[in-house]
Amino acid sequence: MPRIKRATPSDTQQEAAEKVSDSVSTVDLGNGSDVVYMPGFLSADDSWKYLDYLDQHIPWIRPTIRVFGRSCLQPRDTCYVADAGLQELVYSGYRPRAYSWDDYPPLKEILEAVHKALPGSKFNSLLLNRYKGGDDYVGWHADDEKLYGSAPTIASVSFGGEREFLLKRRPAKTSKEKRPEDEPASKRAKATSPGDRQSFLLKHGSLLVMRGHTQRDWLHSVPKRAKLDGVRINLTFRLVI
């Protein structure tokens, strides 16, 4: 069982709500793309409740995937939940089983909270990832599968240990090439200017939203980090069209 580190919140609910309101930020990435970050999307109590539930009740699997022509274990646990009748998700040669929302009612509660925070949004699928410690990661990639359309909105909710979420602009000549799923952090390309990279520290109970052409023009990753032993669980809500 991964280790879960629990903190005791020091703010009252009113103080926390005021901080959330003041700290919501939007980063304009250009070309009709942006990222919205809400560090206090969920209350501390709800965040710990959901983290405990997700860690203990989700049917996690660490699948074998294909990366650069070879088979390897994915460096994180995963699970997939989706509406019935949707086009199947396939990535890196792996076709996950689609579980029903009804099997895991707390996921429906989180989905409802995301829809409420993002008026007009609609999501019908969810990819869950569990990082057991600092050695678990996701390499540079874009969520640009055709089943999400040309300009998907992707909402990411994080629980547990804080991890860096990095974005880098795709080089112009390779913007339409096949994505390098799970590319090691050591192979990250150097950015040509400071504006070609963005970084967010994803806090417990936070919401990050990628919109517009972010998946077309940018890559993102959660790199390895030494001396991190706390579990992190991430939920990415998507719309299969």
Domain membership of residue 7 (yes or no) is no
Report the pLDDT averaged over residues 76-98. 96
Does residue 118 sit within a domain? yes
Rg (Cα) of the chain, in Å, rounded? 17
| Mean pLDDT in residue range 66-74 | 91
Q: Is 170 contained in some domain?
A: yes
* Chain mean pLDDT for the chain: 87
- Phi, psi (rounded to 5 degrees) for 43: -65, 160
pLDDT band at 227 (very low <50, low <70, confident <90, very high): confident
Whether 89 has a pLDDT exceeding 50, the answer reads yes
* pTM of the full structure: 0.84
Q: Is the pLDDT of residue 212 over 50?
A: yes
Domain housing 90: 25-186+193-238
Quick one: pLDDT at residue 194?
A: 66
Q: What is the pLDDT of residue 5?
A: 56
How many DSSP H helices and E strands does the chain contain? 4, 14
Q: Taking residues 163-182, what's their average pLDDT? A: 71
Q: Distance between CA 96 and CA 84 in Å, rounded? A: 14
Q: Helices (DSSP H) in the chain: which residue ranges? A: 13-23, 44-57, 105-117, 214-217
Phi, psi of 126 (to 5 degrees): -150, 125
- Structure confidence at residue 217 as a pLDDT band (50, 70, 90): very high
pLDDT band at 22 (very low <50, low <70, confident <90, very high): low
Query: What does the pLDDT average to over 157-171?
Result: 96
First to last CA, the chain: 36
Question: Is residue 12 included in any domain, yes or no?
Answer: no
Whether 30 is in a domain gets the answer: yes
pLDDT of residue 72: 94
Are 76 and 138 contacting, i.e. CB atoms less than 8 angstroms apart? yes
Q: Is the dihedral of CA 176, 28, 219, 81 positive or negative?
A: negative
Q: Is residue 11 part of a domain?
A: no
Tens of pLDDT, residues 104-155: 999 999 999 999 999 999 999 999 999 999 999 999 999 999 999 999 999 9
| 97 lies in some domain | yes
pLDDT of residue 128: 98
64 domain-assigned: yes
CATH of the domain at 74: 2.60.120.590
Q: How many domains are there within the chain?
A: 1
Q: Is the pLDDT of residue 91 over 50?
A: yes
